[in-house]
Amino acid sequence: MIIKDAIPNFDLYQPTKLADALALLGKHGKDAWKLAGGNDSLTWFKERIKRPKVVVDLSGIQELYGIKETADGVEIGALTTLTEIERNPIIKSKYRLLADAARRVASPQIRNTGTLGGNISQDARCWYYRSGLPCYRAGGNTCFADTPEGVNRDHALFDTDRCVTVNPSDTAPALIALDAKMVVKSSKGERVVSTDEFFIGPKTDITHLTSVKPDELVVAIRIPKDWAGARFYFEKVADRMTWDFAHVNVAAAIVVNGDKIERSRIAVGSVSAKPLRLVAVEEIIKGQPANADVAKLAGQSSTRGARPLNYNKFKIPLMANLVTRAVRDATA
């Protein structure tokens, strides 16, 4: 009897050393799937939409765990769970923005096994794509969400280029606001990339949300101390308070000097395939007094250039309100 309702077969490798994992990825390339917490992976496998030939289970690689303070800031191993990040005293005291973001990811059960590396590397949640339809992101040449009747309520406002999905990560905007760097390794070497280079949009590669190549692995996330102790704000709006992806989320790190906004980094998620850093808003509020009028101006400015789809127009005032609240409440 042929069992047809099971996860398709694959070769499972469970290396305990990073070098071994990188060698496996280098050998198998596109045929290999990187498994961390498994919260995203197993859904793909059970739906039988992704059928990798090889799965590399990273959970046994101890050097990818842990949070340590360094001379330049803090380094978080890619396999550190979101619960650990949420509760870590260093993160809570100096980089609370990330703890706030991690606390809003999914549910406690998922946060107990979900990793920071996995959260920033997760794939798009567009239901058409997730159903296995031959859209652009799946290598086809159409978008089922970008139609007059397509259910595109959770899709993008900005930078839509044929594909209109969004990056669903909650920690991504927080890491952008904290100016984090991702350490990406392969058997050929290491590269440290900014969030701007790490997250990519459809204009760059319509089939991926990150610039990580098949033979590479995110091993750590480094947060510089530049924004340690700044004023932070994180808010996520979703249909449910738990176990749901954001309609819009916002992360802000703001330094106030006296009563003036000295500098800021503000990022919004779930409005574009590449989490959106609001550089123009940062320039507008720089040097301005930290008051409600400036916060309102920031909110109004943030949505310039938004191109809503048929069912996500609500995201425009939502995004404006969240950015207003971020600037107002972070500077209060």
Partner 1 sequence: MDFDFLFRTATSVYGQSELVGASWDLLPWFVGAAVVFVALDILRMGLFARRASALEGKTAGAPAGGTVVRHKGADRLYHWLMAAAVLTLMFTAFAPILGWKFEWDTPHWISGVVLTILVVIHIVRATIWQDFWAMVIVPADLSEGAQGLASLFGGAEGPLKPGKYDLAQKLYHWAIAALVLALVVTGLLMLAKIDTPFWQRNPYFLADTTWGVIYAIHGLCAMAAIALVIVHIYFGVRPDKLWLTRSMLTGDIARKDYAAHFDTQRWKV
Full strand arrangement of the beta sheet holding 11-13: 11-13, 54-57, 32-35
Q: Residue 321 carries which side chain, given as an amino acid letter?
A: N
| Cβ proximity to partner 1, 54 vs 133, nearer residue | 133
Phi and psi at 111, nearest 5°, equal -65, -25
| Cβ proximity to partner 1, 69 vs 205, nearer residue | 205
| Cβ proximity to partner 1, 27 vs 286, nearer residue | 27
Cβ 276 to partner 1 shortest distance, Å: 15
| Cβ proximity to partner 1, 146 vs 154, nearer residue | 146
Pairing of the two strands 32-35 and 54-57: parallel
Cβ 326 to partner 1 shortest distance, Å: 28
- Residue 190 is given by DSSP the state E
Cβ 125 to partner 1 shortest distance, Å: 19
| Cβ proximity to partner 1, 11 vs 161, nearer residue | 161
CA–CA gap between residue 217 and residue 18 (Å, rounded): 9
| Cβ proximity to partner 1, 97 vs 200, nearer residue | 200
Per DSSP, the three-state class of 227 is helix
DSSP string, 42-61: HHHHHTTS---SEEEE-TT-
Look at residues 325, 275, 276, 264 and name the one whose alpha carbon lies nearest to residue 299.
325
| Cβ proximity to partner 1, 68 vs 307, nearer residue | 307
Cβ 291 to partner 1 shortest distance, Å: 37
CA–CA gap between residue 308 and residue 248 (Å, rounded): 13
Cβ 269 to partner 1 shortest distance, Å: 20
Cβ 28 to partner 1 shortest distance, Å: 16
| Cβ proximity to partner 1, 183 vs 212, nearer residue | 212
Where along the sequence are the contacts to partner 1 (CB under 8 A)? Answer: 132-134, 138-144, 146-147, 160-162, 200-205, 211, 213, 307
Cβ 308 to partner 1 shortest distance, Å: 12
Largest CA distance in the chain: 74
DSSP string, 80-132: -BHHHHHH-HHHHHH-HHHHHHHHTSS-HHHHHH-BHHHHHHPPP--HHHHTT
Consecutive H or E run containing 248:
strand 248-257
